[in-house]
Structure 1
Amino acid sequence: MTRLTPLPIDICVGGLNLRCQLTDNYSEKKFVFTPWRYDSDERRLLREHLPANGVFLDIGANIGLYTLTAMQVVGAGGRILAFEPNPATRQRLLFNIDANKSDTTEAALSVMDIGIADIDSQFVLQLDSSNLGASSISDSNRSRLAQADPRRTDVVIQCRPLLGVLQDNQISRIDVLKIDIEGAEDKAMAPYLRGAPEDLLAKLVIIENSPHLWQEDVFALLNQRGYQRILHNRMNSVFLLTPGATPDEAKNGVDAGIQRATV
């Protein structure tokens, strides 16, 4: 007789200690069962571009796969801001952070219970109980649940523009910024890219590919600020800030070798 292991389970995958439910979060499940594929190039670039005293922003942190990766890199001089307004997901994130702390994990890490948007206001976060990672403040999102589906619930969250949050937290530079907020990336990134001074532009941006859900073309705004896309696969794009690059050079500057990673 086969005995089923009760959920959640505590597991170490790819050097990360995680408590996983597996039944209600695609990101969690994909990482546990296919860690060699799940955002492997993106997390490699994160490690390569985040110095020991670096600053990392994780907008839409989910259960913390990127935050936990950053914790392995940054030291006492580093800063990590992880944004996760979904209460259920944030509890898993906090547990995973505690499970991965060590004597060498000394970075100042803040878990923010707010979202990032274009205005300082309350938004309705549409929760997808079948896939917590699909929850979004955007009506155009990846959730498969219709509004009348009983598995979908809503919670009101506070959102703020990114530049104001950076000022409040005395962030004067960003080494790596990762954003995955299910179709609302334009609400968060457009005001930041238009208004950020040069010294506040993230050196590396990891962003989910959601142009079909955006009202504004975030990729074009990144090009205009001098970013070149160095990775483009089915799920994400990675942009590197290239000082002095013209918008045309940035648009056409995709690294052909990494581009072939598209699957």
Structure 2
Amino acid sequence: MTNSDPRPWGADAPSGLFERFLERACTSDSKVWARLASWFATDAVDVERLGFRARLHPKDNLSEKRVLYTPGRFDPAELAYLSSMIDDGFTFIDLGANCGGYTLHLAAKAPESARLFAIEAQPEMARRFAFNLASNHFAAVVQLDELAISDERGDIIFTINHRNRGESGLAGEGETITVPALPLADYLAERSIERLDAMKIDVEGLEHRILAPFFQNAPRTRWPRCLIVEQLLATPATDPVALAVAAGYRIERDLGRNVILTLGPAGHE
């Protein structure tokens, strides 16, 4: 998709007291300063964070708020692990890409041979991602796809949470829209992805709906070597970490909320 915002990056640069408090929040990685800065925040803020330029909207999206005020707290272990995997031909899928925190951070480090795929079903968040992508000049190829990944192909209902757009998804309460959907295996085939080094998946508790049929039907050679998911201990029957471990992944790092898993050799589940 194309960037629909006519104002270039930099038009919404922070200023005045907001700029001063924002700088303190970032340099000290302090939630207290972040809270003070938020009192003066505008709807959109143009900054450089995590190695890339972005226009961030902190008032309706927790992820953008975290990247803006305390980028040092934005999944540092996960980003460091993924960054350590970057090499020639590095291939990454960001499923539930949001504003681009993961994808654009990696794209800023990746070589020209790398391929990064960002999947975002929510039109407004896809628009924001597209703006952020267009505001940078990466060597790597970054593909943004405005669609959902699910267990079946066709149009499905997507619910938008206007209070925190990061909590939008295939289930919930709020405004509903219809979006196109593909199974993960079909997406890999359509994008000619033969090797998948890593995938981050964040689809608000419905990861099992995507991963269960994928593990059952897709060739193991297509599975991501590294998988980052949020564990759902309260609902063990649909916990994607337990599902991945049962399929042959091993837990590399348990970070509390998120878990980094790596794929073991075939026959060693």
| TM-score between the two structures when normalised by the length of structure 2 | 0.80
Q: Is the 8 A contact 1:117 1:188 kept in 2?
A: yes
| 1:79 equivalent in structure 2 | 115
Whether the 8 Å CA contact 1:76–1:107 is kept in 2: the answer is yes
The one-letter amino acid paired with 2:81 is L
1:155 aligns with 2:167: no
Question: What whole-Å deviation, never above 9, does each CA across 1:94-143 have from its counterpart, x for those lacking one?
Answer: 11111222xxx23222111111111112221110001000001034xxxx
Give the equivalent residue in structure 1 for 2:131.
Answer: 95
Aligned residue number for residue 153 of structure 2: 120
Q: In the TM superposition, what whole-angstrom CA distance separates every residue of 1:152-174 from its partner, at most 9, and x where no partner exists?
A: 31111111101011111111010
Alignment correspondent of 2:224: 202
Alignment partner of 1:109 out of 139, 142, 150: 142
CA distance in 2, matches of 1:69, 1:6: 24
More helix by share: 2
Q: Say which SS state the counterpart of residue 238 (structure 2) adopts.
A: coil
Offset of 1:6 from its aligned partner?
3.6
Q: TM-score, normalised by structure 1?
A: 0.82
Q: Structure 1 regions of 5+ residues with no counterpart?
A: 140-146, 248-263
Alpha carbons 1:8, 1:22 under 8 Å: kept = yes
Describe the superposition over 1:65-120 as per-residue Cα deviations: whole angstroms up to 9, x where unpaired: 0110220232222211110010011111011111222xxx2322211111111111
Structure 2 residue corresponding to 1:172, chosen from 185, 194, 197: 194
Give, as a single letter, the amino acid of the residue that structure 2 aligns with 1:199: T
Give the number of aligned pairs: 233
- Residue by residue over 1:26-81, the C-alpha shift from the partner in whole angstroms, topping out at 9 and shown as x without a partner, is 01111222212220000001101232321100100000001102202322222111
Which secondary structure does the structure 2 equivalent of 1:100 belong to?
Answer: coil
Residue 59 of structure 1: aligned partner: 95
SS of equivalent residue, structure 1 residue 109: strand
2:263 corresponds, among 233, 241, 254, to: 241
Structure 2: gaps spanning 5 or more residues: 1-15, 19-39
Cα separation, 2, equivalents of 1:18 and 1:209? 28
Note if 1:129 corresponds to 2:162.
yes
CA apart distance, 1:244: 4.9
In the alignment, is residue 14 of structure 1 matched against residue 50 of structure 2? Answer: yes
| 1:252 equivalent in structure 2 | none
Deviates more, 1:210-219 or 1:190-199: 210-219
User: 2:51·2:108 contact (CA, 8 Å) conserved in 1?
Assistant: no
Moved more, 191-200 or 208-217: 208-217
